Amino acid sequence: GENVEQHPSTLSVQEGDSAVIKCTYSDSASNYFPWYKQELGKRPQLIIDIRSNVGEKKDQRIAVTLNKTAKHFSLHITETQPEDSAVYFCAASYDFGNEKLTFGTGTRLTIIP
Amino acid sequence: EAQVTQNPRYLITVTGKKLTVTCSQNMNHEYMSWYRQDPGLGLRQIYYSMNVEVTDKGDVPEGYKVSRKEKRNFPLILESPSPNQTSLYFCASSLVGGYGYTFGSGTRLTVV
């Protein structure tokens, strides 16, 4: 089955700087890659996603890039703010519409004021 | 308000005592799923359901059962809980499988 590895497990950045979280996946058939944000004590929430026919997607300060050849995708957060502090999870799915979504192990991002 | 409701939020039980965690969604979603979250392991899928009476195993199904008799409900059943099932459990639903999951608030289960 699919295996998703996520790095780093913890990340601290100064407020205003950029943060990058990277994930690799094992199954070349995977073609849907969402990112979830989980604030302390709360539920995970979808923040951005990308499909394999797109190399990059952007939404305000967050962006996701995908390299299908290398089987890795990354989350980029620019101009970080204190409210960006959270745990971020990447995930991969064999097919858009496939219920079997495999998550990475998470990255705890801390924004230092 | 569109939501996924899990109950209870917190539960402490003893080894071997059967329990059920309920999950209900009011968005008419076809797809529902259960995940457990453990430190350092992320979110691991237990079971998922594509529609009423259609369920399948995720990555860690051992020790769990599910049923989907109605579209809105997807209970998680632990027939004989053990301490290694102590975890934070999330139910999730989506209109299209895996896409745009809405998660419930979570159930923190402790088995002693």
Q: Does A104 touch chain B (CB under 8 A)?
A: yes
Between A94 and B88, where is the model more confident? Answer: B88
Chain B CB contacts of A34 below 8 Å: 98-101
What are the helix and strand counts (H, E) for chain A?
A: 0, 11
- Whole-angstrom distance, CA of residue A47 vs CA of residue B85: 29
**Taking CB atoms and an 8 Å limit, are A46 and B48 in contact across chains?**
no
Residue B26 neighbours by CB distance under 10 Å: 12
Mean pLDDT value across residues B63-77: 97
Lookup: tokens for B11 = 């539960």
Give dist(CA B51, CA A79) in Å, integer: 42
Confidence of residue B26 (pLDDT cuts 50, 70, 90): very high
pLDDT at A52: 82
pLDDT, position A14: 98
Do the beta carbons of residue A42 and residue B90 sit within 8 Å? no
Confidence check: pLDDT of B67 > 60: yes
Which pLDDT belongs to residue B100?
Answer: 79
Question: Going residue by residue through chain A (113 aa), what tens digit of pLDDT does each one get?
Answer: 789 999 999 999 999 999 999 999 999 989 889 999 999 999 999 999 998 888 899 999 999 999 999 999 999 999 999 999 999 999 998 765 566 789 999 999 999 99
Q: Which residues of A touch B98 (CB under 8 A)?
A: 32, 34, 93, 96-101
DSSP B64: -
Contacts of A1 in chain B (CB under 8 A): 59
Q: Which of A100, A94, A105 is nearest to A36 (CA)?
A: A105
* A64-81 burial code (b ≥16 CB/10 A, e <16): bbbeeeeebbbbbbeebe
Closest Cα in chain A, distance from residue B91 (Å): 10
Sorted by sequence, the CB contacts under 8 Å of residue B79 that are 6+ apart come out as B18, B63, B65
Using CB atoms, which residue from B42, B49, B98 is nearest to A97?
B98
Please state, in angstroms and as integers, the Cα–Cα distance from residue A44 to each residue in A88, A103, B15, B54, following that order. 8, 11, 29, 25
